[in-house]
Amino acid sequence: MMNCLQQLRQYTTVVADTGDFDAIKTYQPEDATTNPSLLLKAAQQASYQHLVQAAVAAARAEQNTPEQRLEAAMDHLSIAFGRELTQVVPGYVSTEVDARLSFDRQATVDKAHRLMALYEAAGVGRERILIKVASTWEGIQAARELEQAGIRCNLTLLFSLPQAIACAEAGVTLISPFVGRILDWYQKTNDRTYSATEDPGVQSVQAIYRYYKTHGYDTIVMGASFRNEGEIEQLAGCDRLTISPALLESLQQRDNTLTRVLAPEQTSDLPRLSLNEAEFRWAMNEDAMATEKLAEGIRTFHRDAEALRDLLRPMLG
């Protein structure tokens, strides 16, 4: 009998939510995605010091000011990890834009072009890369421009249907709705636990998936940020799911029957919507969970990026 991970792969593309190459080789996902938190963790491991040193050397060679060298080192490190990941997965690798740019459309566009230029200089084609951008209004509009320029995007820190609608209307390649962080908020706010079928994060992604399929959007739905196997099982059939090594291992060890929950023929009762900036901001204002978790996620990614800068700064001299 197939284990749960093998059964899941019949319905869903499995993505590794890690920067650990050994874990990726073990579970052989189709895609890989990283963020500043995962890069910070990986950069502190002895096995990846050669990538850190290469990024530092590349930044030094640019002969800029200390602060410019530091930002160059951050960029080169992201590309170094991303390039290595393209060697161990056959599909997309996602690389995140600096969280500090989450509310600056033009700076996000400029950084995405910089990252893509570095990838191409390193011999990685743009068809292998997704640029990860926070699902703010500015981030979504930056992604619209980038997609039109042939740079594919992964819109992350997505917690609500209005964010998903704006992303689809912008023509982004992929969205990453966060399941577990939605659950965290509701458990803390309501002081209760939820079964997998009741899980607000699961229900949010199910609604987004069905809305997209009903209205013919090509944007890929990739559930992210899982807290348990039950959440993953309730999203079996979603386009993609990005899963941590610990949960991949757990799924691999289980052999209970996994039933497909989501399928393209399922429909949503919601009419097709298009949100302008004012409508988007009002919808976010009315959703305390989405507003709070988006802001918290940006702060967390920024905090971990700052810790990574602190790690690199002494190496740059």
Give CA–CA dist 148/92, Å, rounded: 18
pLDDT given at position 64? 80
pLDDT given at position 20? 85
pLDDT given at position 317? 76
- Rounded to two decimals, the pTM is 0.95
- Picking from 234, 301, 317, 315, the residue whose alpha carbon sits closest to that of residue 41 is 301
pLDDT given at position 15? 94
- Residue ranges in the chain modelled with pLDDT below 50: none
Q: Identify the active-site residue in 132, 188, 213, 293.
A: 132
Domains and CATH numbers, the chain: 4-316 (3.20.20.70)
pLDDT single digits (tens) 248-284 = 999 999 999 999 999 999 999 999 999 999 999 999 9
Is residue 132 annotated as a catalytic residue, yes or no? yes
pLDDT given at position 1? 84
Handedness of CA 125, 37, 15, 22 (dihedral sign): positive
Q: Is the separation of the CB atoms in 167 and 141 below 8 Å?
A: no
Q: Is the separation of the CB atoms in 201 and 178 below 8 Å?
A: yes
DSSP secondary structure letters along 137-165: HHHHHHHHHHHHTT--EEEEEE-SHHHHH
pLDDT single digits (tens) 52-73 = 999 999 999 886 899 999 999 9
Percentage of the chain exceeding pLDDT 70 = 100
pLDDT given at position 19? 82
Helix (H) or strand (E) holding 33: strand 31-33
